[in-house]
Structure 1
């Protein structure tokens, strides 16, 4: 698995031809914290959390399907610029998702998920 993966809203990897399609303005980006290519200053491998960023540039809400389990079995929403608000109420379960789940991303918004 590479350090970055580009996904269509349906959760499938983007192909070269997909970049010229209209949906290419609304994409998912996987950042693999286990595949950071540069070592630290001591030459040791660097690892971090892995993230999935869902960008919706469309003027209507868009449903994204999370990629398959090989990219992450479980995810938690860390940021939702469309307005997910957690006001002292335990809404952790609402912020959890698993591979293949769908997430509605509001117009011109993004959602950041962290692999757990």
Structure 2
């Protein structure tokens, strides 16, 4: 299947639009695997900065632990938002998910909000 192959090469990201969600779980699983391996698009950010700057950035992150969520997800709609987004404020507590990174939200199958564009 072409879509799966694109995901496996790291040349695409998951986007499902109801009612066409037949392969959503498979695509989310494939994207998670590629994210972990940092292939294609997911490895481009690390490669662009070079090894030295990546190592320095990693040390800075380790020295400053982030306890706040950078993104808020809605378990019901599978969308994620910036914390200050009007739609993030309206998420019911039982549907509220917190993510530290955009990649973490996407690896769980969440899609970015079209209003705040996280």
TM-score between both structures, scaled by the size of structure 2: 0.25
Q: Which is richer in strand? A: 1
